[in-house]
Amino acid sequence: MRRKVRRSTTSGGAAWPASSRSSLGWFGSIEFGSCSSRFAIAAECASNGDELDREILVTARGPHRSPRTRFEGVCSRSFAARFGPERTKSTWLFVSENTAPDFSADTTDGTLRFHEWLGDSWGVLFSHPKDFTPVCTTELGEVARLKPEFDKRNVKVIGLSVDPVSDHRAWAGDIAETQGHALNFPLIGDPDRTVSKLYDMIHENADNTLTVRSVFVIGPDKKVKLTITYPASTGRNFEEILRTIDSLQLTAKHSVATPVNWKHGQRCIIVPSLSDAAAREKFGEFETVKPYLRYVPDPTT
């Protein structure tokens, strides 16, 4: 990792010691090429009048960050005191294109090693809060119903909660009875929360004993391509997750992006980095609405 630090002083006039740098908290912006996503995880510290001491620009080149990732922000000792480095490091782990952590776990289909189980397939890892609960029952029944659609896309699906595997198996009968579809994919039993913590599926501001409704879409390269988190009260739309997988698989192979509400077979947008000449060579004719907005038929149809 390469760091460029512009150091200021604390209110007492002395710079923070080097030993404190590893426990600093961050807020600012994250940039990925032309895209920028803003966040304010230290907003509470700022609103309480805490010292925001040092501006830092970090270019991350470690194994869990893309070489193009840039962090710009401000450090706060009080933020680190509240959340700690263990809490903050997992936040950066699941920025898109970072490697999904490997693990070994007990499941309803036996013990598996995650990366080995994925093989060269795409994967969806999703968590639910609790077995024998109403929303989760409907969700797992829906995933079982849609399993052929995931299979068509070369996507392996695996679920997780902090319940033991024995509870998963007992609950499976209720899912089949009430939803009309039996479980046809593995469920991870994670009573010690090892995998849940590894994937930051337990949010302390919600319920620190249960997993939230997290979704991770993972590519054949074992990189995280997409993450979504839903509150406990809101069941997921797995048709939408299939739609995002269609987009991810399409855009991974072709120089296109997908517009709002896009579905497989509909027209796509040529990426801005492709010149008109290169676009004509690649796609033939295309529609230009603005120099930055160029439509082309779905290259896969």
**Same domain, yes or no, for 213 and 273?**
no
Asked whether residue 98 is domain-assigned, the answer is: no
CATH number for the domain spanning 178: value is: 3.40.30.10
Average pLDDT, consecutive stretches of 10 residues, N- to C-terminus, the chain (301 residues): 37 36 35 34 38 36 37 37 41 67 98 98 98 98 99 99 98 98 98 95 77 96 95 95 98 97 97 97 96 97 90
Sheet containing 268-270: which strands, arranged edge to edge? 256-257, 268-270, 293-296, 287-290
**Same domain, yes or no, for 123 and 176?**
yes
User: Which residues 6+ apart lie within 8 Å of 134 measured at CB?
Assistant: none
- Total domain count, the chain: 3
Asked whether residue 245 is domain-assigned, the answer is: no
Q: Identify the residue whose tokens are 């980095």.
A: 273
**Same domain, yes or no, for 224 and 120?**
yes
- Report pLDDT for 209: 78
CB 33 within 8 A of CB 68: yes
Asked whether residue 76 is domain-assigned, the answer is: yes
CB 152 within 8 A of CB 73: no
Amino acid present at 77: R
Question: Which of 62, 93, 124 marks a domain boundary?
Answer: 93
- How far is Cα 52 from Cα 77, in angstroms, rounded to an integer? 8
Range of the domain at 178: 104-236
- How far is Cα 279 from Cα 286, in angstroms, rounded to an integer? 8
Asked whether residue 247 is domain-assigned, the answer is: no
CB 268 within 8 A of CB 296: yes
SS (H, E, C) the chain: CEEEEECCCCCCCCCCCHHHHHHCEEEEEEEECCEEEEECCCHHHHHCCCCCCEEEEEECCCCCCCCCEEEEEEEEHHHHHHHHHHHHHHHHHCCCCCECCCCEEEECCEEEEHHHHHCCCEEEEEECCCCCCHHHHHHHHHHHHHHHHHHHCCEEEEEEECCCHHHHHHHHHHHHHHHCCCCCCCEEECCCCHHHHHCCCCCCCCCCCCCCEEEEEECCCCEEEEEEEECCCCCCCHHHHHHHHHHHHHHHHCCEECCCCCCCCCCEEECCCCCHHHHHHHHCCCEEEECCEEEECCCCC
Question: Which of 38, 69, 93 marks a domain boundary?
Answer: 93
Amino acid present at 51: E
Of the candidates 41, 40, 72, 37, the one whose C-alpha atom is nearest the C-alpha of residue 57 is 72
Catalytic residue, from 35, 45, 75, 136: name it.
136
CATH number for the domain spanning 288: value is: 3.30.1020.10
The whole-model pTM stands at: 0.71
- Report pLDDT for 97: 73
- Report pLDDT for 203: 78
**Same domain, yes or no, for 143 and 211?**
yes
Asked whether residue 246 is domain-assigned, the answer is: no
Active site residue 136: yes
